[in-house]
Structure 1
């Protein structure tokens, strides 16, 4: 496994590397290079180019996650709030990992990142497509004396924060879809998955999971079951450091969770509403059992209430909903 990762790190610059140089780097024979390269590329699901007389390379460069670069990009307050930073080249799910770590006593402020997830998860049991090295898979653990029932609005707070970080990085025309999808021109750019556990009256712990498509090849996203985009397209190809983006997100989420613990959802409501995707539009709200069907509750999206619930103007008047999935009504 270490050899696989060492090879990918060597090729991450996207430049050609000769078989002889690779053999020296790995301490293997020249004839063993191709076999090692092929196994590494297959292990991480990466394409590999080979050109006679020039060597081997990845079709596109990769900025792999780097603890030192992330920490160096954090402010003093950000570093103080971050208890531990875990980076994995492969993991089942960053959220699942932190939920296990939380049960074992991991401190508040523990963060987990992965180059690839083998069992990435979205809302309602969906698979989160997680190819190696091209997207961002981040989870953050937060402990609070609050009861789990008091954390319902944390999803909207986190969504508003992520949208604002990306807007500050140059992304325009972003929109939030209740409760926690981030869209660009109607296509999914990012999503959040929040999971909570604890005593009925508190304390409890919350894991905030963030997945952002950064620069994904269409073939890598072929299993995504809805229109999607990535930040590379949103930014018109302008470069954005993956490690610096991680630092910005960690900084913002750590600060936001502290604010949410003190003041609840109220400080984030206006920010969320500025990104509200479907305000004033006819929509259909589907429950878990109805997702994927044509049933559901139809109405005009009337924004979010102060507790984070969705408001719909229906034939029966204004109604509020705490859960479900919103889609534009045909």
Structure 2
């Protein structure tokens, strides 16, 4: 094993793989990388990755706290995208595909699965989560912030996990070790490939890549929205990124929900 601690983006043999047109900001500590993305968005020149060693006020979907022990990965991609919010939101699937590709460099790919709408599972436990925020005006998105948290070194302690939440796991629990800096390097490269594909060919190839590794596809799951709960067979993800369930009352497309199985 190499003992070279130089970041991959500074090594002559690998620096070429850092994607062009993507900047990076590396912080020792911040309240949250998502908050930092909001602060720099008005003056950002273009796409920017923001990574922090420590976050003091990290959160996940619907404001839920996100625990980030030392050695885990916490970053936000501030992406200058333009266009309508629905299309911008599809980039959660791009990031999920890129996350799975990056994790598969350290563990067997068949142990990884995509959980709708924005988690990646390792051996049935949640190893990574994605959070999206956008800002713009006139019904158009100027910047999209994609927050990514990955349990590289440790999973949150049981008392830090919300009741009923999916069981967390860490990459280190499965005998793999990767630094946050190296993880950022390869995640940035994989995401840039997905973004190019999305811009050239649209969402369908991304959707098919995501579905190829979807957790519980073809099985019965439960989706809980803010207002109700639906149980049915996970049929597909449609062209708009909606979860499609086959229920007793027919085929139902769900735009936003928490999924349980």
TM-score by length of 1: 0.70
Does the residue aligned with 2:172 lie in a helix, a strand or coil?
A: helix
Q: 1:141 aligns with which of 60, 69, 78?
A: 78
Matched, 1:161 2:113: no
Q: Calculate the aligned-residue CA RMSD, in Å.
A: 2.2
Structure 2 unaligned runs (5+)?
none
Asked if 2 retains the 8 angstrom alpha-carbon contact of 1:276 and 1:303, the reply is: no
Asked if 2 retains the 8 angstrom alpha-carbon contact of 1:147 and 1:199, the reply is: no
Structure 1 unaligned runs (5+)?
1-62, 290-294
Higher relative contact order (CA 8 A, sep 6+): 2
Q: 1:91 aligns with which of 30, 43, 48?
A: 30
Aligned residue number for residue 219 of structure 2:
281
Give the whole-Å Cα distance in 2 for the aligned partners of 1:121 and 1:89: 18
User: Size of the alignment, in residue pairs?
Assistant: 252
Give every structure 1 segment of 4 or more consecutive aligned residues whose post-TM-superposition deviation is greater than 6 Å: none
Give the whole-Å Cα distance in 1 for the aligned partners of 2:31 and 2:60: 13
- C-alpha spacing 1:256/1:99, structure 2 compared with 1 (3 Å): farther
Structure whose residues are more often helix by fraction: 1
Asked if 2 retains the 8 angstrom alpha-carbon contact of 1:269 and 1:306, the reply is: yes
Does the residue aligned with 1:115 lie in a helix, a strand or coil?
A: strand
Give the whole-Å Cα distance in 2 for the aligned partners of 1:217 and 1:190: 10
Query: What whole-Å deviation, never above 9, does each CA across 1:204-246 have from its counterpart, x for those lacking one?
Result: 2111111000111765x64123411100123xx2433432221
Structure whose residues are more often strand by fraction: 2
Larger Rg: 1
Give the whole-Å Cα distance in 2 for the aligned partners of 1:239 and 1:186: 19
- C-alpha spacing 1:315/1:200, structure 2 compared with 1 (3 Å): farther
Aligned residue number for residue 177 of structure 1:
115
